[in-house]
Amino acid sequence: MPPIDILMLKAMHPDVMDAVAARFTLHRLDTVPDPQAFLAETGPRIRGLATGAQAPVDRALLARLPGLEIVASFGVGYDTIDTAAAAAQGVVVTNTPDVLTDEVADLALGLLLATVRQIPQADRHLRAGHWPQRTYPLTPTLRGRTVGILGLGRIGRAIARRLDGFGVAIAYHGRRPQADVPYAYHPTLLGLAEASDVLLVVAPGGPETHGIVDAAVLEALGPQGLLVNVARGSLIDEAALIRALQAGTILGAGLDVFAREPHVPPALVAMDHVVLLPHVGSASVETRAAMGRLVVDNLVAWFDGRGPLTPVPETPWTARA
Ligand code: 8YV
């Protein structure tokens, strides 16, 4: 059997690199001296692409890979992949759903609690030696709040299940109401923000959701409102968020994701009423290993002729002869 050439755009989880190299011929675009020359020469032989959210897969790149069959992406979100172009080229795209759901939901709850009860700020207060002089100021509370979830998908539902145990009211907005949940549905995001005093963002990134959490939504969330984002920075109008935080239009924010990662606006870093995390929602040793295994399993299943394990809905696939 001829070797199967797999391209990686950037370094990935070490287990993924080892497993791909063990089974296939692995090429790394980030380590070749001249990526354009590499694509011209070897691009036509590439049959699989392994990638993560940090390395966009656009129409231009896909056009350089005419023999491509599969893009196996590390992560549940795939907004940096042009799935329409992939579908048009007959390329299947896979992501890594389910294996990270509980991990991200745990982190979302941690970030919510850290934000409302100011846990990092209290830690800083102690470490700075302020405790003997003054007790840490009283904080806002989660008690009595309504948490509005933007995007009640797999992760949104896992967050809602955890919130059930916290005894808070839960509401949600998404493309359509879901018959099998007891939570209040709001047909508009503005309506959800008006009804909530925590807005938890868990919807996918992409053109449909770009900037939907705007100045009007933040205004509707109100002066006791908290914004928590574990999805994509692109959903938030970051400039409007900074203005809202500076003006007291909302009370605070907990952010795991940003518009231009790893760049975080200095205005956010300067504020003490926000909790900032460097996109760590799924970043535990175990969960990242499970995500890596699923990337490799998708490639192996595809090239064994068993089809993809977790294809995204935008790229319907047909098994090749
Ligand atoms: C990862 C993520 O940080 O799954 C996602 O959509 O955002 C995270 O799990 C990212 O995909 C790593 O490339």
pLDDT, residue 319, reads: 47
CA atoms of 78 and 204, how far apart (whole Å): 8
Do the first three CATH levels of 5-99+286-303 and 101-276 match, i.e. the same topology?
yes
pLDDT, tens digit, 9 for 90 and up, residues 223-254: 999 999 999 999 999 999 999 999 999 999 99
List the CATH code of the domain at 5-99+286-303.
3.40.50.720
pLDDT, residue 318, reads: 59
CA atoms of 230 and 247, how far apart (whole Å): 23
pLDDT, residue 153, reads: 98
**Pocket test residue of 279, 287, 294 for ligand 1, highest count of atoms within 8 A of CB:** 279
Residue 282's nearest CA partner among 77, 15, 51 is 77
Q: Which residues pair with 171 in a beta bridge?
A: 148, 184
Residue 75's nearest CA partner among 56, 94, 61 is 94
pLDDT, residue 2, reads: 77
**Would residue 286 show up in a list of annotated catalytic residues for this protein?**
no
**Would residue 232 show up in a list of annotated catalytic residues for this protein?**
yes
In the chain, which stretches have pLDDT less than 50? 319-321
101-276: which CATH number, 3.30.360.10, 3.40.50.720, 3.40.50.300, 3.30.565.10? 3.40.50.720
**Would residue 243 show up in a list of annotated catalytic residues for this protein?**
no
- Cβ-count burial of 208 within 10 angstroms (0-12 exposed, 13-18 middle, 19+ buried)? exposed
CA atoms of 227 and 187, how far apart (whole Å): 19
pLDDT, tens digit, 9 for 90 and up, residues 155-187: 999 999 999 999 999 999 999 999 999 999 999
pLDDT, residue 320, reads: 47
The domain locations on the chain are 5-99+286-303, 101-276
Ligand 1 centroid to residue 177 C-alpha, Å: 26
